[in-house]
């Protein structure tokens, strides 16, 4: 399969393998350039996942092993044949990132119907809310850089 040409419907069909291979997954969202449709030769695969924390904790010895498994398993399930996969854990990502995933993301898999719409209602922000989040994030970065002597 040519991973540059795989379409969203094909990903959604292949996602039927998720419950067996990745039982801890509650939702998978494609986001970034591939979800927006502005793919180029340098486009990677951006996936956001929502995990059942209890099942994930029983599956993985530590968080590091889970990060490797997420990318490897998604690559295998979707037959992407690439190392250019980024995975965002929706359980722990920032409101800033979650907003853009909710706004631009395309649902690939959900264990329970309505999970994606619930996520979108919770994470989509107004422009004024995003301005506040951006301002706070910028202040945190400036403080961190200052503490590092930069």
Residues classed as catalytic: 44, 46
The rounded Cα 33 to chain-centroid distance in angstroms is 13
Pairing of strands 85-89, 45-51: parallel
> DSSP letter at 68?
H
Cβ burial 27-57 (10 Å sphere, 16+ → b, else e): bbbbbbebbeeeeeeeeebbbbbbbeeeebe
Q: Which pair of structure tokens corresponds to residue 120?
A: 């979108």
Report the SS3 class of residue 3.
coil
């Amino acid at each position: 399969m040519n991973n540059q040409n795989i379409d969203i419907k094909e990903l959604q069909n292949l996602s039927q393998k998720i419950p067996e291979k990745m039982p801890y997954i509650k939702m998978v969202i494609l986001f970034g350039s591939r979800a927006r449709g502005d793919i180029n030769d340098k486009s990677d695969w951006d996936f956001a996942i929502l995990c059942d924390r209890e099942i994930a904790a029983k599956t993985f010895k530590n968080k590091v092993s889970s990060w490797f498994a997420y990318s490897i398993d998604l690559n295998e399930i979707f037959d992407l044949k690439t190392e250019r996969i980024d995975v965002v854990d929706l359980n722990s990502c920032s409101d800033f990132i979650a907003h853009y995933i909710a706004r631009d993301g395309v649902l690939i898999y959900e264990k329970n119907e309505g999970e994606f719409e619930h996520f979108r209602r919770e994470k989509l922000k107004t422009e004024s809310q995003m301005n506040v989040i951006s301002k706070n994030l910028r202040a945190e970065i400036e403080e961190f850089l200052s503490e590092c002597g930069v």
